């Protein structure tokens, strides 16, 4: 079996502010296999420079993809037609070999499932993929100046979102708080759920009064309030914070099952945020979810700026779970040169077309 690998540089419609600075474009590598029925099965290896744990530069990353291509040259199409392939020794060895490359695991998992389903784009059978149910999602407000963020808020409200997540830490906190206050004056906590994502913008000392102010505004939760690696400080915040705290970047680079379980036991957050491209693909995220639910920790899934190929895979995987909180997913409308999407958003709900 030959895997075709092609880089695709995604261009943002508008420069997008992230915890890693302003992004103008973002690379992905698309895996594909030509099937006997004339269709292409696809998967996406999506990385965010300076954030993805398995990406240092393109040359090294493409060297790993060349190894992947060579490794799977011995596989046959029939290997993927076995309904137990993902529980077999061969696949488990692949996961073990590539555990420190979560974006590659995610891309290969998506490709393998698309091969198994004849290039249909249906990776998981669920009410969502059968177009019978939708997934609740939040409206994301990107970092930027005050007017830019306000424009986004108005747009999300007009689109009917009942949960809004705002990136904080990019401008003065007082200005960000004013935006949240404006929202709360217009909509109660029952009408509109507010989340914030700090991407580690604060120190353990500076975040304490901010948590109090967020609580006064009935904010649901804050993602990664301080930089990862400060385990004792994060544990203390989770213990005493008046609002929920969600781990995000804290989990990047944690690959082994024992490490995952130990981290969640030590910090005991209220929530975790999962990104298959960063947290071990479907397999790795399933482990995180298992350990989280054992400790009564809730979770939601978000994208890591994938194209519509990766977003389709993440949405279908997410829909295999029940009682979902609003998820951080979309259709890939950020880009000027995205692929056709099988997803559509309506009134804060993600559906298959």
| Catalytic residue (one of 76, 167, 260, 290) | 167
Would residue 167 show up in a list of annotated catalytic residues for this protein? yes
Say yes or no: domain 135-352 is CATH 3.40.50.2300.
no
| Catalytic residue (one of 275, 290, 347, 353) | 275
Q: Where are the domains of the chain?
A: 4-116, 135-352
Position 149 scores a pLDDT of 82
Position 172 scores a pLDDT of 87
In this prediction the pTM is 0.94
Position 18 scores a pLDDT of 61
What superfamily does domain 4-116 belong to in CATH?
A: Enolase-like, N-terminal domain (3.30.390.10)
Extract the tokens encoding 141: 């407000």
Q: How far apart are CA 348 and CA 327, in angstroms?
A: 10
Is residue 119 left, alpha or beta, with left meaning phi > 0 and alpha meaning psi from -120 to 50?
Answer: left
Which tens digits make up the pLDDT trace of 5-34? 999 999 999 877 665 667 899 999 999 999
Q: Judge contact between 53 and 27, C-beta under 8 A.
A: no
Quick check: 40 pLDDT over 80? yes
The stretches of 254-324 forming alpha helices (DSSP H) are 257-267, 281-294, 308-318
Would residue 275 show up in a list of annotated catalytic residues for this protein? yes
């Amino acid at each position: 079996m030959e895997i075709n690998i092609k880089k695709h540089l995604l261009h943002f419609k508008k420069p997008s502010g992230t915890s890693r600075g302003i992004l103008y474009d973002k690379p992905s590598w698309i895996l594909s296999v030509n099937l006997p029925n004339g269709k292409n099965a696809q998967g996406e290896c999506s990385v965010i420079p300076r954030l993805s744990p398995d990406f240092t530069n393109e040359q090294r990353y493409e060297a790993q993809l060349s190894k992947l291509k060579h490794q799977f040259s011995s596989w046959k199409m029939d290997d993927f037609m076995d309904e137990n392939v993902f529980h077999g020794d061969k696949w488990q060895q692949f996961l073990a070999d590539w555990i420190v490359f979560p974006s590659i695991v995610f891309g290969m998992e998506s490709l393998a499932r698309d091969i198994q389903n004849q290039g249909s784009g249906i990776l998981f059978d669920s009410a969502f993929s059968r177009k019978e149910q939708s997934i609740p999602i939040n409206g994301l407000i990107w970092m930027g100046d005050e007017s830019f963020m306000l424009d986004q808020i108005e747009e999300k409200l007009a689109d009917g979102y009942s949960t809004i997540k705002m990136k904080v830490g990019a401008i003065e906190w007082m200005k960000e708080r004013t935006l949240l206050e404006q929202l709360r004056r217009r909509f109660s906590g029952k009408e509109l759920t507010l989340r914030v994502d700090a991407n580690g913008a604060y120190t353990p000392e500076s975040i304490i009064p901010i948590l109090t102010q967020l609580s006064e505004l009935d904010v649901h939760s804050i993602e990664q309030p301080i930089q990862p690696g400060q385990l004792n400080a994060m544990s203390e915040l989770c213990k005493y914070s008046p609002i929920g705290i969600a781990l995000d970047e804290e989990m990047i680079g944690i690959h082994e099952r024992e490490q995952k379980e130990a981290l969640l036991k030590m910090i005991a957050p209220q929530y975790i945020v999962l990104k298959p491209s960063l947290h071990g693909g479907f397999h790795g995220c399933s482990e995180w979810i298992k350990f989280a639910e054992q400790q009564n920790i809730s979770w939601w899934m978000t994208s890591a700026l994938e194209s519509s190929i990766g977003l389709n895979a993440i949405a279908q995987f997410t829909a295999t779970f029940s009682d979902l909180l609003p998820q951080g997913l979309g259709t890939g409308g950020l880009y000027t040169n995205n692929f056709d999407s099988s997803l559509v958003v309506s009134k804060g709900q993600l559906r298959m077309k």
